[in-house]
Amino acid sequence: MPRYRLTVEYDGGPYKGFQAQDGLPTVQGELERAIHAFCGEAVRVHAAGRTDTGVHAGGQVIHIDLEKAWRAAVVMNAVNAHLFPAQVSILACDEVDEDFHARFSATGRRYQYRILNRPGPAALERGRVWHVKAPLDAAAMHAAAQVLVGLLDFTTFRDAACQAKSPLKTLDVAEATRHGDIVEVRFAARSFLHRQVRSMVGSLVEVGRGNWTSADLAAALDARDRAACGPVAPASGLSLTDVDY
């Protein structure tokens, strides 16, 4: 049975997350509907990660198994034709070995969070950024973010509904940079806890506003208490940008 790896881009705004839910619009639901329309098969889509409601992706990876062998270009073009006008697009498709798994074969995931930091709200990028009016010190955010790098207990930055067996994760990269009115915060790790990225961003914004110091962020991390987390950043600014294999 041929297995295909597909790179997927989507605007998470219209969807109740990636994972299929009965009666609700989801990215997985759109993909499975389009694949069925293309080949007539009821296919289960396996993804590198299940993004939350409103979270976007520029480099989500999925895999599917089809009964019939098709050229990868045919799969990509046909699925895209049936996805329209959904806000989901296949960017690449390759046939892979049967031991490839979009989730379990992944060695790293990278997320980007974009903050629009100016007095006026977004018009052109509404739904794709978090609008923060107060001036942010991106350099202070970057310096504080280094507190979060390494093998650490991220209980403070873990959603209460997280189903991971352990709060221990190794964060490889934590960066904050300014590009004009946009402050970009980037994280890389093998895997993340539920809402870990949005929780860390919300606390880093407290540093950027001058409400917290790096020491305050470190104390919040060391508390291993969800109540010590700063406000959780909204989903709109978050994107899964890459998955490494």
Considering 52, 153, 172, 244, which one is annotated as catalytic? Answer: 52
Please confirm, yes or no, whether 172 is among the known catalytic residues. Answer: no
Q: Amino acid letter at 29? A: G
List, as one string, the DSSP characters of 97-133.
Answer: -TT--TTTT--EEEEEEEEE-SSSPPSTTTTTSEE--
Structure tokens at 64: 């599917």
Q: Amino acid letter at 186? A: R
Q: What's the CA gap between 109 and 9, in Å, rounded?
A: 15
107: Cβ contacts below 8 Å, ≥ 6 apart: 190, 244, 245
Report how far Cα 96 is from the mean position of its chain's Cα atoms.
24
**Catalytic residue numbers, as ranges:** 52
